[in-house]
Amino acid sequence: LDVNGAFDPAAGGLARADLDALAAPARAAFDGFEARRRAGEVGFADLPADAAAAEASRALAAELGRRFENLLVLGIGGSSLGGRAVLGALCHPFHNLLPQDRRGGLRVFFPDNSDPATFAALLDTVDLERTCFATVTKSGGTAETMSQHMVLRERVVARFGEEGYRERCVLVTDPQRGVLRQIAADERLRALPLGASIGGRFSVLSPVGLLPAAAAGVDTAALLAGAAELEARCRSGAVLENPALLYAAVLHLLDVRRGRRLHVLMPYADALRDLGDWFVQLWAESLGKNPGTGPTPIRAVGATDQHSSLQLMMEGPHDKVVTLVRVAEPRAELTIPLPAGYARHPDLAYLGGHTMGELLEAERRATGAALRKNGRPTISIELPRLEPRTVGQLLMFLELATAYAGGLYGVNAFDQPGVEAGKRYAQGLLGRPGYEKYRDELLGAPAA
Ligand code: PA5
């Protein structure tokens, strides 16, 4: 983590005095989080130490892997984005297209929406005989997820009977509460627990993320080991000794003191595109709270978005800070050849002999420098390479930063009343008993 670009005077950055003034609030945010952790209210930072949950996910994934070829993960929001982020970062970019012997695991699909066009197309595409599914919902009652579960259940029972359904369906849900827990008992389904202290968007290192990751062939032990290392590195309330606290503090300060309320995460690696989406959910759903506080996270990908939203970042309103993420050693490298006939075109010849990785890195460096020169602060994160250990570190880093940022913004990072409000209205419209008043309110009908 390099925050110097956020302290560059030319970039409209912070002064050292800003950070000094934040020492006490940062310590308070750290202490507040640790107190909730000790009280057992917030458990994500302790997941790397939960060997039983990790082993249960691995064992179930191995069992499914022996019998099936495809895994459909039915979940939405935090019950989908974490798994998708891990697979995106660590699997072959075209994992699902590879033949089985090159994949090293199941094909995994995340149909995280109740859009019938996508879900119908997916069900028409996969061979149900060779397909299992994990219904992932902490509350157990999320309409999008359960509608998919009910559609798929009907097809599977019709084709393979109740026993075939039991073989194909596994659940991840709250160990005690919720309708899905009841269904697990009634239908005798295998179910992994998602503990009460693990919120959806903080669940990537629980069975929610570990099951699909292990099923796809990811080394989840190394992923958790990396997360544990990062957690151990963040046990200080002193802002300069805790990298996640420093990151949260710098982003918070840039927002409240310099008006940089749009927080862009821009990895220069396609593999981190989905992790960017996961971060957007984490930062937005955790920090955007009443009464109207919260930075807006944005996911960009370098170099792709240099030909798109970078124009706005470079010359638009002075309301953004860009975190540029570098992967020092790309997973594969290609040297750019110089065909004989191209040598006489200086506009192209300069590329010859460089690698594509060098090109990407030059773009990242140049973009960071240009942003700062244009009065836009930047932050840099560097990963030596993308491997389970470093991805585990990055996930824990961003989760801890979010938890601390909640304290700095003075909000509860672990609830989502706004999301719940939308769910209630939708369920009222669809006729859920007890939700009539939401339907009436929405349709303007007189209260009963
Ligand atoms: O972070 C969260 O809490 C949400 O994004 C949830 O993960 C999402 O709403 C899905 O909820 P559930 O897992 O209960 O189906």
pLDDT number for residue 25: 96
Compute the distance between CA of residue 170 and CA of residue 134 in angstroms, rounded to an integer. 5
- State pLDDT tens for residues 218-264: 999 999 999 999 999 999 999 999 999 999 999 999 999 999 999 99
Enumerate residue ranges in the chain where pLDDT < 50. 448
Compute the distance between CA of residue 131 and CA of residue 133 in angstroms, rounded to an integer. 7
Enumerate the H helices of 7-142 as residue ranges. Answer: 16-38, 51-67, 81-90, 100-103, 116-125
Which residue ranges have their beta carbon within 6 Å of ligand 1? 76-79, 137-139, 142, 145, 199-201, 285, 416, 419
Enumerate the H helices of 39-115 as residue ranges. Answer: 51-67, 81-90, 100-103
**Ligand 1 centroid from CA 173, angstroms:** 11
226 and 393 in contact (C-beta within 8 Å)? Answer: yes
Residue 423 falls in the annotated catalytic set:
yes
Compute the distance between CA of residue 195 and CA of residue 193 in angstroms, rounded to an integer. 6
Mutate which of 113, 203, 204, 419 for ligand 1 pocket (most atoms within 8 A of beta carbon): 419
Give kind and range of the element (H or E) at residue 383.
strand 378-383
Instruction: Quickly count: other Cβ atoms within 10 Å of residue 176's Cβ.
Output: 9
448 class by beta-carbon count within 10 Å (0-12 exposed, 13-18 middle, 19+ buried): exposed
SS3 292: coil
Q: Which atom of ligand 1 is nearest to the CA of 136?
A: 13
Catalytic position from the list 95, 285, 320, 399: 285
79 and 208 in contact (C-beta within 8 Å)? Answer: yes
Residue 387 falls in the annotated catalytic set:
no
Count of alpha carbons within 13 Å of 148, Cβ hemisphere only? 29
**Ligand 1 centroid from CA 199, angstroms:** 7
263 and 429 in contact (C-beta within 8 Å)? Answer: no
Give the total residue count for the chain: 448
Instruction: Quickly count: other Cβ atoms within 10 Å of residue 284's Cβ.
Output: 18
Give kind and range of the element (H or E) at residue 389.
helix 388-409
pLDDT number for residue 422: 80
The token pair at 313 is 């970042």
SS3 303: coil
pLDDT number for residue 392: 98
Handedness of CA 200, 221, 243, 275 (dihedral sign): negative
Which ipTM value was assigned to this complex?
Answer: 0.98
Which residues are 173's β-sheet partners?
193
Residue 388 amino acid letter: P
- State pLDDT tens for residues 36-72: 999 999 999 999 999 999 999 999 999 999 999 999 9
Catalytic position from the list 138, 252, 263, 423: 423
4 and 214 in contact (C-beta within 8 Å)? Answer: no
pLDDT number for residue 270: 98
Compute the distance between CA of residue 80 and CA of residue 418 in angstroms, rounded to an integer. 19
pLDDT number for residue 126: 97
pLDDT number for residue 447: 52
Q: Which atom of ligand 1 is nearest to the CA of 77?
A: 5
pLDDT number for residue 291: 84
pLDDT number for residue 444: 83
Compute the distance between CA of residue 398 and CA of residue 406 in angstroms, rounded to an integer. 12
pLDDT number for residue 445: 64
CA distances 404 to 215, 221, 244, 277, Å, are 32, 26, 8, 20
Nearest CA owner, ligand 1 atom 3: 200
Give kind and range of the element (H or E) at residue 320.
strand 320-327
End-to-end CA, the chain: 57
pLDDT number for residue 425: 86
Q: Whole-model pTM? A: 0.96
Compute the distance between CA of residue 311 and CA of residue 130 in angstroms, rounded to an integer. 47
Nearest CA owner, ligand 1 atom 8: 77
pLDDT number for residue 290: 86
Q: Using only C-alpha atoms, what is the Rg of the chain?
A: 23
Mutate which of 79, 80, 173, 204 for ligand 1 pocket (most atoms within 8 A of beta carbon): 79
Residue 307 falls in the annotated catalytic set:
yes
